[in-house]
Amino acid sequence: MQTHLAAALGSVVLTAGTLLAAPAAGAQASAYPTTAYAPVTVGNTWTKGTITWYNRSVAVVGTHKSVSAAGPAYCRRTWAYTYDANGARLGSAGSVAADTACGTTKNFSSFVVPADVVGGAAFVRVCLDDGNLTDLLCSRPYARP
């Protein structure tokens, strides 16, 4: 009798442990929302890509184009600004120097723009800059999805 009781108790403990350790059916990490931003165009140059919305920052990745390598004023980089719900600027950041397009079309690495407030950025503007980091034209504000 003691053997059967011990075996039954062991079986119950193993089953309970398995059930407690198993993840809930259908449970998975939620993805962060993304927004494709329309091309920001100045003449024959542009930037286009995607914004990924995180809790206290956004990431921007994409492609920019320059048609001339005649100097920094003709090169292109991408820059972005984050804003809170009241329109106050939270942060800014841009593509790295190594990703500058001069007389070419170039993919730029993802860069992170801070938005260190509860809930993160409410809006983002993406700008096409020259090689001197002067904003040439900025997008309309994109609202957090």
Structure confidence at residue 29 (pLDDT): 54
Contact assessment for residue 137 and residue 129, using Cβ atoms and an 8 Å cutoff: no
Rounded CA-CA distance 94/77 in Å is 7
Q: Is 126 exposed, middle or buried (0-12, 13-18, 19+ CB in 10 A)?
A: buried
pLDDT of 53-99, one tens digit each? 999 999 999 999 999 999 999 999 999 999 999 999 999 999 999 99
Query: How much of the chain, in percent, has pLDDT values that exceed 70?
Result: 79
Looking at the DSSP bridge assignments, the partners of residue 89 are 83
Domains of the chain listed by start with CATH number: 34-143 (2.60.40)
Structure confidence at residue 12 (pLDDT): 38
Look at residue 100 and tell me whether its pLDDT is greater than 70.
yes
Look up residue 101 and give its DSSP letter: B
